[in-house]
Structure 1
Amino acid sequence: MSEAPEPRDEPFAGPRHPEPETDSDAWATACAEDLAREKARRAGPGSGTGSAAEELRRLAEAVAGKLGELGGPAFGAAAQSAAQNLIGQVKSAVGPVRERNPDVFEHLAAAGSELLSAYRAAVQRQEYRWTAGGTAGTAESDAGNGRPEGSGGSRGEHIDLD
């Protein structure tokens, strides 16, 4: 009789394949690829923003176009010429300054964006307080209306119309 081979202590691992090479900095590579794709997407036609002076010019042209559409033929022509006059004045005033100090316009645009963000946050916070009803003073306002304290619900007052 032939002897059966002794069982090995190693579990069967299947066929051996060489280990694939791993990128030691895969996260940084993925981030760089994502950033490059995002920059390419933003650089697409019509989606980028220009300098502050360029944005001001675009705004003035858009306002002039809307004014021309709103008022009909007679009013539209007058509004269009007034808007074109305004655009000409803005271009003549801003052009030389922009050429000498482009970084100033970029700084002003960034500061304006930050101010707008702060204003927007303040307005949203106040709107939330108005719509959600603040927790301060809830006990006072609920005390005389027959509802338990802090029961929420409408903060309006019941008016008997009979």
Structure 2
Amino acid sequence: MSEATERPGPGPGREPDPDAWERACAEDLAAENARRRAAGGPGEQPGSAAEELRKLVEAVADKVSSFQLPLAGAAAQGAVREIVEQAKAAALPVIERNPEVFDHLASAGSELLAAYRAAVTRQEARWTRDEPAHEPPAPREGEAKSGGSERIDLD
């Protein structure tokens, strides 16, 4: 079918719906999320960072809500459950609207961890070979030595 026959115009006397695209996208996103939740189960592969964060928020909220505090009364436990539900209601929409942000944050964290491991591995190799660390250059005449800080050589 051609594009014109698949999506006919608004027709005579009808205005186009300005929110149709937004609603269609929201429906598609909700259907995809429902499909992913239904497909999930034990032993599944880890999903995106946003999906994993959503699962973590829900698991923590469920666990905190299930605590039975012997010294707290029913009102205190109800207040804790209410706070947990409010936090969950605030966090989940942010995660759903911005999944790519959490993927980028996870990638950045992985890169930082790799850089840290490389620096530590190199320094450990120097220590085991008893190599002296590179000394920073002595301050020039007239320059005050910086107090309280030390140069850390990552090379």
Relative to the length of structure 1, the TM-score reads: 0.37
Give the number of the structure whose alpha-carbon radius of gyration is greater: 1
Q: TM-score, normalised by structure 2?
A: 0.38
Which fold has the larger relative contact order, with Cα–Cα distance below 8 Å and residues 6 or more apart in sequence? 2
